[in-house]
Structure 1
Amino acid sequence: MSKSSIVDFIGVGSGKCGSTWFFENVIQHPEIYDGNPKEINYFSDLFNQHSPEWYASQFKGCTDDSLLKGEFSVTYMYHPEAAKRIKENCPDAKIIAIVRDPIYRTFSDYLHAQRKGDIAPTVPFSDYIKDEKKLEFGCYTQYLKQFFDNFPAEQIKVIVLEDFNENYEKGFRDVFEFLGLKDVNFVPPGVEERRNQARSYRFIKLENLLVKTYRMLAKAGYTRLTETVKRSGIPELFRKFNTSKKPLPQIDDASKETLKQYFATEKKFVSELTGSSLSAWQ
């Protein structure tokens, strides 16, 4: 990796596509710095507040130059200036994007909006999707375009989550080859354990408070503190205590059909871009 880049790889999105689980497994590779922080949001939310030196300082714990440095901030895919900013500061960085069936990505966003307290749990999904702004994050074409406009195609890897989940070993091998690692056959321990999966909560207000605290710290630039707290395991213990056995809501058939028609063009684009049949997509 050229010294002209602050980091070796950057995950740019999309949100609600398994990025937390993916990143936590990737950084277990012995050739990658295991202290790499997630969700720095520098090239989106914090670019005008901090210098490139501040961004570089987020990786100061990596004292071994042979280890790869990188991060994953899902806000980068959606920010209109992020790709250009990354190109200017990290021209040699490998770019990773994860996409999934936009219907289920939208539904996951709906459940997450309840966790954040942005919408009440009583709001039905059919009403939620009437706001077209809630659907645009599943329109991958317009967001990925800025990265292909700024970086050569061989420097970008677009992962289809459903394909990746079918064969973890092949999925991670492809990623490690893309990153130029020596041991491409490394399989992260505990890869079957998922992160940030949707669940029902006994007290949704407590979950709202936890998520809002994360957001506040992240927007203030306390990335490493946020990561330290998350990796301590305390938030997960809190969530297990607050988890309810109540089944999660399901997508109603009418909403599914509406979204299937709305995202038809995206399915065609992603299939052509990745070569995937997208057989798991609706």
Structure 2
Amino acid sequence: MPNTFVIGAAKSGTTSLYDYLRQHPDVFMSPVKEPCYFAYRQNPPEMAGPGDREANRESGVVYTMNEYEALFSGARGEAIVGEASPVYLYDQDAPRLLHEQCPGASLIAILRNPIVRAHSHYLQLVQSGREPLDRFEAALDAEDERVAAGWEWSWHYRRMGLYGRQLARYLDYFDRDQLHIYRFDELTTNPAGFAKTVYRMLGVDPSFTPDTGVRRRATGVPQFDWLHRFIGTPDHFLRRWSRLVLPEAVRDRILMAVRNANLQKPPLPDAARARLVDAYRDDVRRLEALLDRSFSDWLTTDDDRIADDG
């Protein structure tokens, strides 16, 4: 079983951290990035939203212990064995279930301004063609109805940013020194330095330098739909040809660069920002009390100037 979990938050750099961890020779990360097992084992979502079932099937979510344990069969004595499922921070059952199976685990959370995080998650679903509403505020209006109807957690834009409430649940089961909390801007300002900080915390060689040059989860609205579809179609004849002539790392870097350049990021509407400032104010205060650290800048500034990554 794993001894390390990246528990969230969604759209806050978990994909980058997963990549940096799995590159380290003393770390084994599950080949499926988001198995979500400890969130879905007892109470799987209804998957009633547009594309929910397909998205979760394609992402490799697992529901049984046998499937979950199989994800770590490739471990060969690495000091750190882990996985990254950002739904764990949000899910109500995950802290208890994680503690039952892995009470001594290290838990890593990256916290992003919840206002910007909510907008980024909305843009991700717009980008994938799943979000039918073309206004962020309309999606916020629809959230309660969607949750009641059984749409999966990605649609819970506002709720997923209530970090104070979510971390309090973990502190009911885990000691504070088992939770390692970072801010999103720590990762984006100096990715390699951030990776080394995490390596050091986990007790593996901090001198190892990962490749931090590829942004895999940038969000936005595609300028050219045909180009976005091409990048997302592995069986396209040009994609097949590229596999014959280009090394995988080069191919991957080119595709991600083209994909990200094709994305435009609409600004967060002022009215939606003001609305979410009010919605998050009390929870930010709760988070500050839990961690003895200030997050008041989230309520007054826009941190969306830095790279967007999930």
Alignment partner of 1:41 is 2:36: yes
Aligned residues: 254
* Counterparts of 1:243 and 1:151, CA distance in 2: 38
Q: 1:179 to 1:111 in 2, by over 3 A?
A: same
Corresponding residue for 2:158?
135
Q: Any conservation in 2 of the 1:115–1:204 contact (CA below 8 Å)?
A: no
In structure 1, how many angstroms separate the alpha carbons of the residues matched to 2:186 and 2:287?
A: 12
Amino acid at match of 2:179: I
Equivalent residue for 2:90, pick from 78, 97, 102: 78
2:281 is aligned, of 255, 264, 272, to 264
Counterparts of residues 63-142 of structure 1 (less than 5 Å): 63=76, 65-120=77-132, 123-133=134-144, 134-142=157-165
Q: How does 1:213-232 map to 2 (within 5 A)?
A: none
Give the corresponding residue for 1:190. Answer: 211
In structure 1, distance between residues paired with 2:200 and 2:192: 12
Matched, 1:56 2:55: no
Per-residue deviation, 1:56: 1.9
Shift of 1:26: 1.9
Q: After superposition, where does 1:165-244 map in structure 2 within 5 Å? A: 165-168=188-191, 170-181=193-204, 183=205, 185-186=206-207, 188-201=209-222, 202-203=224-225
Report the more deviating stretch, 190-199 or 82-91. 190-199
Which of residues 19, 22, 29 is equivalent to 1:24? 19
Shift of the 32–192 alpha-carbon distance from structure 1 to 2, 3 Å rule, reads: same
Q: How far, CA to CA, are the matches of 2:15 and 2:192 in structure 1?
A: 18
Q: Once the two structures are aligned, what percentage of the paired residues are identical?
A: 24
AA at the equivalent of 1:149: D
Q: Given the superposition, is the C-alpha separation of residues 81 and 279 from structure 1 closer, same or farther in structure 2, using an over 3 Å criterion? A: closer
Specify the SS of the correspondent of 1:40: coil
Q: TM-score, normalized by length of structure 2?
A: 0.70
Contact 1:117/1:205 (8 A) holds in 2: no
Q: Secondary structure, in 3 states, of the residue corresponding to 1:131?
A: helix
Q: Which runs of 5 or more residues in structure 1 are unaligned?
A: 1-5, 212-230
Residues in 2 aligned to 1:262 and 1:35: alpha-carbon distance in whole angstroms:
35
Change (3 A) 1:95 1:34: closer
* Contact preservation (8 Å) 1:267, 1:278: yes
1:157 & 1:80 partners in 2: Cα distance? 19
RMSD, aligned CA: 3.3
In 2: Cα distance, 1:245 partner to 1:95 partner: 35
Displacement after TM superposition at 1:123 (Å): 1.5
Q: Which runs of 5+ in 2 are unaligned?
A: 44-61, 145-156, 234-247, 302-310
Asked if the contact 2:165/2:286 (under 8 Å) is kept, the reply is no
CA distance 1:174–1:57, shift in 2 (3 Å): same
Q: Which sits farther off after the overlay, 110-119 or 88-97?
A: 110-119
Q: Does the CA contact (< 8 Å) of 2:195 and 2:210 recur in 1?
A: no
**Could you tell me how far 1:168 is from its partner in structure 2?**
3.8
SS of the counterpart of 1:263? Answer: helix
Counterpart AA for 2:26: E
Aligned AA for 1:203?
Answer: D
Could you tell me how far 1:239 is from its partner in structure 2? Answer: 6.8
- Structure 1 pair 51/154, CA: closer, same or farther in 2 (3 Å)? same
Report the CA distance shift for 1:54/1:252 in structure 2 as closer, same or farther (over 3 A): closer
| Cα contact 1:33–1:62 (8 A) shared by 2 | yes
Counterpart code for 1:139: L
The code of the aligned residue for 1:197 comes to: A
Per-residue deviation, 1:61:
1.0
